Structure 1
């Protein structure tokens, strides 16, 4: 049996570094040689030569498939982790590096960072251990880890970008804390960014030029993939759709702005609307999941609130589409659970306010719900963690931190 830790060990020379990058991409997703070349940004001939060498050394296998031969790892010991640390929910996925991307072991809890990271850490450690054990391997077999958080991350140092918004503080460094447990570097990035990375890598038959992933839960964020690269911005603040001003005279937001999208379609904003609409004999839902459930069962107030949220989101997405002209917009996060109740009004307002050429041609634009269920961000974190192993000494800043795509 191969050992992933040895395959990802130190290298010397450009050829060995490129070979390790190829092995990492195969760990991320077994794929056809042409698509591996596209993901790596190198020629098909270079990949073909490298694959032939790896086959001869029994490091990879080429398996015939209905749509073409797929390059994969043989039996290999090693586990990759992806952790999604949300405000009110935590998801941990563990996958042996030789398994298909959709065969993960998952642990999910409905309490998140709103409890405070120091209080959450023991539970998170227990979830990680349980997920890894479910793969049949041990914590010592973990070779990579990525972390998704619902806040802005500076790509230069992997720390929270100012202003650092609740529930985090400027001293919090969850990636460094998890590195002490795992013994491997934990790469960290914004959750919407990693949702976009997962959609581009796992959610599509083949990559598209521009993909936008919308994470709509406690707040709203957008991850933007241009080809195989994430658009992060100078300080990691690209895609902060939730802080786009929609109502200049609206409520004050945590960011210090007024009338931000988060104050209109975030989970707390929506559940508070139900409470204000309630009668004395009406027990309103206290979280977004329950609100969506009631809307799907026909509750008039809840259906109206979800529909209005879709319309407001569609107006905001129209501005985004006018700026970046995406081929695909994917809705994820808890609000995506409302499916057509939110998607239909969202699509109506998007078509009303966006430039017609950006959204009306079904062959050039699509708006849909994520096909990765509630694990898109965790899948993206797993990808990020593996790609952090592309360099012998990844990152110049904190022990945690984002890495190049």
Structure 2
């Protein structure tokens, strides 16, 4: 059996580097040659030539019903059996999700481990549990931790693309000394690439969440707070210091409550999980009925017909829609995807959000007749972990997270 570690080893010269980049993209997703070219940034001719060479070397093969030879860009290309596993970790405030997949299998053939306990409990305390979850997920693939060749981690904080560490201000529950990628890397002996969760959700939706990639994708991660990841073509917009997409700290009410970032009236302070729960509790003060204590329970009660919980979710949807209207006027995206726990509110969130988009954005920017789409995430709770898996594989090329818009200095996001 082929070894993924050998395929991902050092490469020199343009031809070898391009071949390695293409192998990585096939590991990320078996696909048509035209899409592999788009995702890798290589020319159609380069991909076609490399695919033919790899097929002759017994490294790739055509999907059933297609042929590498003679079908050109329409051929569905996948790896032949390979020993190697890629891992993605989503370390959130209140949960951890781990996904693992053999690199020669389809992107949806993942093994999943989850726990409802996240960074709020402290990184040091969590690390042994995360290592155990990774071990269990990898074991379910039929391989071992020694076969892990790529790993990435998603965190709900800004990551400086020059250093791979938290961008200041470092907000709770994190501290400036926390280095989750480096800590996990030391414990497992594997390089972990790291990036913001909304960025990786956008990357996963662009790669796995649609049949044909959209030119500009905005992914909204709405849970404890709100963040946005922006894909422009095959490039991820991070900004100079990784602060692009911090829509949660967009000022929505200059006289509103003080946010933990030090600002006032931020979107996070209005539609973040704690704020929504507090709003429900305030409305139900004095009642002895079951009052929701988590966002999940609030959403569950709203779906069950609770008028207060439903109203709070609808108002949150409207506020998010107003914020997204400003973003749509700036970037004119093709696709806006609502993800995170708040998106499980489904139409209670989506409907009001769509109404405010139509009301406050330029009509041409959000016109469905012109191709604009607003929808819920296709990947659900696994979007960020799937994005982390993609990030880990692309880091094997030395260009973590793909090509980056507005990369001022450095070589991309890295945990080293």
User: 2:214 is matched with which residue: 195, 202, 208?
Assistant: 208
Note the C-alpha offset of 1:361. Answer: 3.0
Distance 1:226 1:392 in 2: 17
**Is residue 383 of structure 2 the alignment partner of residue 376 of structure 1?**
yes
On the 8 A contact 2:34/2:74 being kept in 1, the answer is: no
SS at match of 2:256: coil
Question: What is aligned with 2:407?
Answer: none
Which of 230, 238, 249 is 1:232 aligned to? 238
5 Å-filtered alignment, 1:273-352, equals 273-278=279-284, 279-352=286-359
Please point out which of 121, 127, 131 is paired with 1:125: 131
RMSD: 1.7
- 1:37 maps to 37
Q: Which residue of 1 aligns with 2:59?
A: 59
- CA gap of 1:399–1:347, structure 2 versus 1, over 3 A, is closer
Q: 1:365-397, CA deviations, whole angstroms, 9 ceiling, x for partnerless residues?
A: 110000101100011100000000013999769
Aligned: 1:400 with 2:415: yes
CA contact (8 A) 2:89 2:99 kept: yes
2 CA distance for matches of 1:391 and 1:117? 27
- Give the direction of change, closer, same or farther, for the CA distance of 1:324–1:116 in structure 2 (3 Å limit): same
Task: Assess if the C-alpha contact under 8 Å between 1:140 and 1:182 holds in 2.
Answer: no
The CA deviation string for residues 273-324 of structure 1, in whole angstroms up to 9 with x for no partner, is 1111113322211000010000000001000000100011111110111111
| Contact 2:198–2:229, Cα closer than 8 Å, also in 1 | yes
Contact kept in structure 2, 1:17 and 1:391, CA below 8 Å = no
Q: Is the counterpart of residue 264 in structure 1 residue 264 in structure 2?
A: no
- 2:380 is paired with a residue whose SS is coil
Tell me, in whole angstroms, the C-alpha distance in 2 between the residues paired with 1:361 and 1:11: 45
Distance 1:384 1:277 in 2: 43
Deviations 1:12-52 (A, max 9, x none): 22211111111000000000111111111222111111011
1: CA distance, partners of 2:100 / 2:358: 40
Equivalent position SS for 2:381: coil
Q: Work out the CA distance in 2 between the residues paired with 1:397 and 1:197.
A: 15
Q: Which runs of no fewer than 5 residues in structure 1 stay unpaired?
A: none
Q: Which runs of no fewer than 5 residues in structure 2 stay unpaired?
A: 67-72, 402-409
> Could you tell me which of 165, 184, 199 is aligned with 1:159?
165
CA distance in 2: counterparts of 1:344 and 1:242, whole angstroms: 20
C-alpha change, 1:398 and 1:216, in structure 2 (3 Å) is closer
Aligned to 2:405: none
Deviation at 1:11, TM superposition (A): 1.6
CA gap of 1:329–1:301, structure 2 versus 1, over 3 A, is: same
- How far does residue 342 in structure 1 lie from its aligned partner after superposition? 0.6
**Does structure 1 conserve the Cα–Cα contact (< 8 Å) formed by 2:158 and 2:166?**
yes
Partner of 1:354: 361
Q: TM-score, normalized by length of structure 1?
A: 0.96
| Partner residue in 1 for 2:256 | 250
Distance in 2 between the 1:392 and 1:320 partners?
Answer: 27
Indicate the residue corresponding to 1:8 in structure 2: 8
Q: Which residue of 1 aligns with 2:146?
A: 140
Q: Offset of 1:185 from its aligned partner?
A: 1.2
Question: Which has the larger displacement, 96-105 or 279-288?
Answer: 279-288
Match of 2:92 among 73, 86, 91: 86
Corresponding residue of 1:48: 48
- Number of aligned residue pairs: give it: 401
Structure 2 distance, partners of 1:393, 1:33, is 22
Change (3 A) 1:260 1:393: closer
Q: 1:106 aligns with which of 103, 106, 112?
A: 112
Tell me the distance in 2 between the aligned counterparts of 1:283 and 1:52: 63
